[in-house]
Amino acid sequence: MSNRVEAFLGLSAELTAFSRFDLLGTGLAERYLGTLDTVVGGEITDMLLAAFVALPPPEDGTRAQALRATILGSELLGDVARALIKLWYSGTWFELPYAWTQRFGPKSADATFVVSPDAYIEGLLWKAIGAHPAGAKAPGYGSWAYPPKIPTFPGSPTSKPDAVSVHPQNAGIMS
């Protein structure tokens, strides 16, 4: 895997709180890097990756602050990073804000679009909330009667939904 893809995965993992393993599992990592290249151009993409690589190491207590200052809070890179978060979570590239375009110039491919049908299906949002994309990856008959299985992650809330309480009248159907 190229350094570029490595850096992209590292950045994406940090922005989304999904592991590199999860991100690779979508099969879309290179596609999304390509989307950045196509929409905002290789130069800005490389600046974003470089800013990520330049962050203090994870052990360093200032890393989060630095990420806010140099990436999310960057006038140039902030909106691009936010568009990347939204892309991973929904499979949709959301057009950059008007102010960004005014300042840095319009990009011809910058419109709101779904990257591909599978991008919609692989949106991390569904996984994050223990659901499934509307219209695909069906979880199976009757699964909705049980509490959601919300995956845990570093920093996830400790509280779990209440124990299963299948409505008595439906209890029979579930077995």
**Which residues are at the interface with another protein (CB under 8 A)?**
14-18, 72, 81-82, 85-86, 89-90, 92, 94, 112-114, 116-118, 120-121, 125-126, 128-132, 134-148, 150, 153-157, 159, 161-162, 165-167, 169-170, 173-174
The CA distance from 141 to 118, in Å, is 23
Cβ 26 to another protein shortest distance, Å: 14
Nearest CB to another protein, comparing residues 104 and 120? 120
Cβ 11 to another protein shortest distance, Å: 11
Give the 3-state DSSP-derived string for 54-77, with helices as H, strands as E and coil as C: CCCCCCCCCHHHHHHHHHHCCCCC
Cβ 8 to another protein shortest distance, Å: 16
Nearest CB to another protein, comparing residues 50 and 125? 125
Cβ 60 to another protein shortest distance, Å: 16
For residue 132, give both structure tokens: 């499934």
Whether 38 contacts 44, CB under 8 Å: no
Cβ 36 to another protein shortest distance, Å: 16
Nearest CB to another protein, comparing residues 42 and 171? 171
Nearest CB to another protein, comparing residues 2 and 159? 159
Shortest CA distance to 82 belongs to which of 7, 25, 90, 46? 90
Buried b (16+ CB within 10 A) or exposed e, 124-161: bebbbeeeebeeeeeeeeeeeeeeeeeeeeeeeeeeee
Whether 45 contacts 36, CB under 8 Å: yes
Nearest CB to another protein, comparing residues 54 and 173? 173
